[in-house]
A and B are shown apart, each in its own frame.
Chain A
Amino acid sequence: MTTSALRDLVTRHPGQADQEPFLEVVDLRVHFPTDDGLVKSVDGLSFALDRGRTLGIVGESGSGKSVTSLAIMGLHTRPASEQTRPGAQLSGEIYLEGEDLLAKSPEYVRSLRGKRMAMIFQDPLSAMNPYYTVGHQIIEAYRIHNPVNKKVARKHAVDMLGRVGIPEPSRRVDAYPHQFSGGMRQRAMIAMALSCDPDLLIADEPTTALDVTVQAQILDLIRDLQSEFNSAVVLITHDLGVVAELADDVLVMYAGRAMEYGSADQLFNRPVHPYTWGLLGSMPRFDRPRSERLLAIKGAPPSLINVPSGCPFHPRCSYAARNNGRSEEVLPELAPVETGHTVACHLTQIEREQIWEHEIAPKL
């Protein structure tokens, strides 16, 4: 498939169809050469995202969610550069307002990091440097992109801590990460990420390490800050609840590829991919009797070195037998099912509708 054809498949929202999307990923591939073989962590992924909108990327561990976000940030070590571990092989295009980041120099991408695009990590305890105060780390992030003196930067850090809801920010600014609670640390992490008003915020499992009440607070905070800064947010998670809470669009990933891509409404109310059905079925529900068993997806995610032939999901798919072995041989391309809703699946429209109506929907 050509690049232009791929770009045509990428979702455009009504009224913005002729405008260039803010972030556009086209046919991204991230491969890691290892002693055991080539690990294809991301293998042909495309999506687009506009300002002020949130894209949720969901999938099991090892589906390539984090690798995708690190690729956007330019945080993979390339084989040619100085390295502490073997580098990643990247191909495809990542456009940030029309600029292909993969074609730019690492130094240029570095100058964008923290300023135009920022990232929030999963575990704020290990993601913050234990040797420096929280304030120091925010000040450092701010001053690297803004030529201000320490005093101004410190005031900004205190401001940011206050804005993310940390009480007594002028005192807490001098505290070390280990002196913060988990939720406070994640707030500080967000303050650090937002210190330079980034246009793109990537949140990689921002609430996984937190307990449920704090999770809700952090999600509220991200939503509020997003509307305040009008930034684009990529939210990476395996928690569909978090996606339902925050995302406008959802990308379901499996074995480094997009399985289904559409608006949150489409994904939650009219899902079409058997893997998405599996994810939805395995979500605990409070409005169901506890005696009901969760519908787990059978099997385990595949090895990314020996990805199953054809559709990578076929060994775990209950409906793979329906198309006379095509699932095992032919890799399904992303194809539209309705406006802004695409799926990579061999099932026909009629089959999907039947299965959904009779087998899946009643159980969800």
Chain B
Amino acid sequence: MFAYIVRRLLWAVVLLVVLSMVTFSIFYLVPLLGGATPETLAARYVGRAATPETVHLTAEKLGLLDPVPVQYWNWLKGVFVGASYDYGAGVEQCPAPCLGYSFVTKQPVWPELLDRAPVTISLALGASIIWLVAGLSVGVISALRRGTIFDRGAMGIALAGVSLPIFFTGLIALAFFSYKLRITAPGGTFVPFSENPARWAYSLLLPWITLAFLFSAQYARLTRAGMLETMTEDYIRTARAKGLPERRVILKHALRGALTPVLTIFGLDVGLLLGGAVLTEKTFSLNGLGKYGYDAIVNQDLPKILGVTLVAGFFVIMTNLFVDLLYGVIDPRVRLE
């Protein structure tokens, strides 16, 4: 078990290095194949009226004159041992883990990521708990009352939930609950948990529910399908033959078997969301990793893009490891090797 975790963590490091290489390559290779020079790349980061000399100087400072592998090596070295940067306002020390300086704002990326992460983590974890509870309960009840009004209604709402984009439901929810009824916080508010847990929950309540609505639909459908399948298992009949009350048969014997696929998707979803819930953060004006990554892409700011990509990759890898460990807890037949 311990060896398994260590091995998985070592693989995680390898994966993250590969991920950064791929990101780096995509960022440079596409423009370079299209005939871009270091100067045309650097032109993105200076004013429109800049002289060729300024552009060349910027290219040099950003390290764009070096061959791409050298640039990558310098960046990678910075992650492990730190680096120093000079963008014209004197040499800046950037201690490890140094994910570089923004090409645009000239600010180091790592502290900014640390600053944004709590928003996204709060958003993702809160919403995921809500959608897991809601999705599982609705799914179980739907499966047991298959064909009834509850089932049809719930599955109809679920279909709507899956289909409606968050910038639609989110804006309607904001308009109605925050601005008309004034029972939830308006967009753009975020209070850190450490500051005031009650205000924290209040500030995130609407984004949580809106995001959970989108996801719980999928979970309800998945749980329902899983329950319908496990309810036909022989061991369910055995449980009934023992004289167990129906509630116990369902919650103890049937639900357990239906959990595995739900857990798989849950790991993927939470991992992805932790890397930034772009649309939700945009809709509710939350300064999380998603919005950070979105801005980075719009500004073609490589160090920021790399930073967000790595954090997102890290979360996906970690939640998957966590889910794999949970498989072993849920299903005794699973052996981790």
Contact A84:B253 (CB < 8 A) given known A129-B235, A178-B333 = no
B146 at the interface (CB under 8 A from A): yes
Within A108-144, the residues touching B (CB, 8 Å) are 110-115, 118-119, 121, 123, 126-131, 133, 140-141, 144
Interface size class of A (residues with CB under 8 A): 20 to 34
Nearest A residue (CB) for B245: A110
User: What does the 1/0 interface line of A67-90 toward B look like (CB < 8 Å)?
Assistant: 000000101000000111100000
User: How many angstroms from the CA of A127 to the CA of B240 in the assembled complex?
Assistant: 11
With known contacts A82-B145, A113-B243, A114-B243, A121–B234 Cβ distance under 8 A = yes
CB-CB under 8 A from B238, the residues of chain A are: 119, 121, 127-129, 189, 192
Chain A residues with Cβ below 8 Å from B205 are none
- Residues of chain A within 8 A (CB-CB) of B332 are 130-131, 133, 176, 178
Complex-state Cα separation, A329 to B231, whole angstroms: 42
Asked whether B143 is an interface residue with its Cβ less than 8 Å from the other chain, the reply is yes
Inter-chain contacts of B333 with A (CB < 8 A): 130, 176, 178
Known: A84-B146, A131-B332. A75 touches B243 (CB 8 A): no
Which of these, B143, B239, B331, contacts A84 with CB under 8 Å?
B143
Check B235–A118 contact: CB distance below 8 A. no
B146 CB, min distance to chain A CBs, angstroms:
6
Contact with A along B139-174 (1 / 0, CB 8 A): 000011110000000000000000000000000000
Residues of B within 8 A of A (CB-CB), count: 27
| Contacts A84-B228, A127-B235 given; does A118 touch B146 at CB 8 Å | no
Q: Tell me which of A110, A113, A123, A178 contacts B234 (CB under 8 A).
A: A123
B186 in contact (CB, < 8 A): no
Residues of B within 8 A of A192 (CB): 238, 242
Q: How far is the CA of A144 from the CA of B331 in the complex (A)?
A: 24
Residues of A within 8 A of B146 (CB): 83-84
| B240 / chain A contacts, CB cutoff of 8 Å | 75, 110, 113
* Beta-carbon contacts under 8 Å, B287-337 to A: 330-333
CB pair A127–B245 under 8 Å, yes or no, is no
B182 sits at the interface (CB 8 A):
no
Q: Is B196 an interface residue (CB 8 A)?
A: no
B242 near A84: Cβ-Cβ < 8 Å: no
Task: Please name the residue on chain B nearest to A70 by beta carbon.
Answer: B237
Q: CB distance A121 to B237 under 8 Å? A: yes
Residues of B within 8 A of A144 (CB): 242-245
> Nearest CB to that of A122 among chain B residues?
B234
* Bound CA–CA A128/B332 (angstroms): 13
CB nearest to A195 among chain B residues: B242
Q: Flag whether B8 is at the interface (Cβ < 8 A).
A: no
Q: Which residue of B lies closest to A175 (CB)?
A: B332
Q: How far is the CB of A88 from chain B (nearest CB, A)?
A: 14
B221-267 residues at the A interface, CB under 8 angstroms: 228, 231-235, 237-246, 253, 256-257
Is the C-beta of A145 less than 8 angstroms from some C-beta in chain B?
yes
> Bound state CA distance, A111 and B235, in angstroms?
19
Q: Which of B241, B253, B331 contacts A114 (CB 8 A)?
A: B241
State A112–B237 Cα separation when bound (angstroms). 15
Using an 8 Å CB-CB cutoff, how does the interface string of A141-176 with B read, 1 for contact, 0 for none? 100110000000000000000000000000000001
Which residue of B has the minimal Cβ distance to A85? Answer: B232
Q: CB-nearest residue of chain B relative to A126? A: B234
Report whether B330 and A131 are in contact in the complex, using a CB–CB cutoff of 8 Å.
Answer: yes
Binary flags per residue of A241-279, CB closer than 8 Å to B gives 1, else 0: 000000000000000000000000000000000000000
Contact yes or no, B228 A73, CB < 8 A = no
Measured CB to CB, the nearest residue on chain B to A119 is B241
Interchain CA distance A123-B244 in the complex, whole Å: 20
Interface string of B120-154 (1 = CB under 8 A from A): 00000000000000000000000111100000000
Contacts of A115 in B (CB 8 A): 243
- B21 → A minimal CB distance (Å): 42
A126 to B237, CA, bound (A): 10
Nearest A residue to B260, CB-CB = A131
B148 (CB) vs chain A CBs: closest residue: A82
Given A83-B146, A128-B238, A140-B242, 18 further pairs, Cβ under 8 A: A75-B240, A82-B145, A84-B232, A110-B245, A110-B246, A113-B240, A114-B241, A118-B242, A123-B234, A126-B235, A127-B238, A129-B239, A131-B253, A131-B332, A133-B332, A176-B332, A178-B332, A189-B238
Residues of A within 8 A of B (CB): 73, 75, 82-85, 110-115, 118-119, 121, 123, 126-131, 133, 140-141, 144-145, 176, 178, 189, 192-193
Question: What residues of chain B have their CB less than 8 Å away from a CB belonging to chain A?
Answer: 143-146, 228, 231-235, 237-246, 253, 256-257, 330-333
Of the A-B pairs whose beta carbons lie under 8 Å apart in the complex, a sample of 17, sorted by A's number, is A75-B241, A82-B144, A84-B143, A113-B243, A118-B242, A119-B238, A123-B234, A127-B234, A127-B237, A128-B235, A129-B253, A129-B256, A130-B333, A141-B243, A176-B332, A189-B238, A192-B242
